[in-house]
Amino acid sequence: MMLEPSIDDLQKNIKSKYTLVTIAAKRARELQHTNNPLVDSKSNKFVGQALEEIQAGKLFVKEDSK
């Protein structure tokens, strides 16, 4: 079974797997309440929709400027 989007594709946008999971989970909870996706999604599940948004570059990590 192939998962879409793949972890390799997702890590091109967000390097850390832990950060990726955290962002996807927070966005999935947000989608549960608002049901307002940022991209047209193939997935029926909120986590899948969040991952597709990350792949599309709609969700990202803001880097701290030190």
* Reduced 3-state DSSP string for 29-42: HHHHHHCCCCCCCC
Structure tokens at 56: 């599309």
Q: What does the pLDDT average to over 31-38?
A: 93
CA pair distance 27, 50, nearest whole angstrom? 6
pLDDT at 59 over 60: yes
In this structure, are residues 52 and 14 in contact, taking their beta carbons and an 8 Å threshold? no
The domain in which residue 31 lies consists of 7-55
Q: Residue 49: what pLDDT?
A: 94
Query: Which distant-in-sequence residues (6+ apart) come within 8 Å of 51 by Cβ?
Result: 5, 10, 24, 43
| Domain presence at residue 2 | no
Residues in the chain, overall count: 66
Considering the domain boundaries, does residue 61 fall inside one? no
Q: Residue 41: which pLDDT band, with cuts at 50, 70 and 90?
A: confident
Q: Which pLDDT band, with edges at 50, 70 and 90, does 48 fall under?
A: very high
The answer on pLDDT for 2 being more than 60 is: no
Is 65 contained in some domain?
Answer: no
In a domain, 66, yes or no: no
Q: Is residue 21 part of a domain?
A: yes
Domain count, the chain: 1
Does the residue 22 lie in any domain?
yes
pLDDT at 5: 87
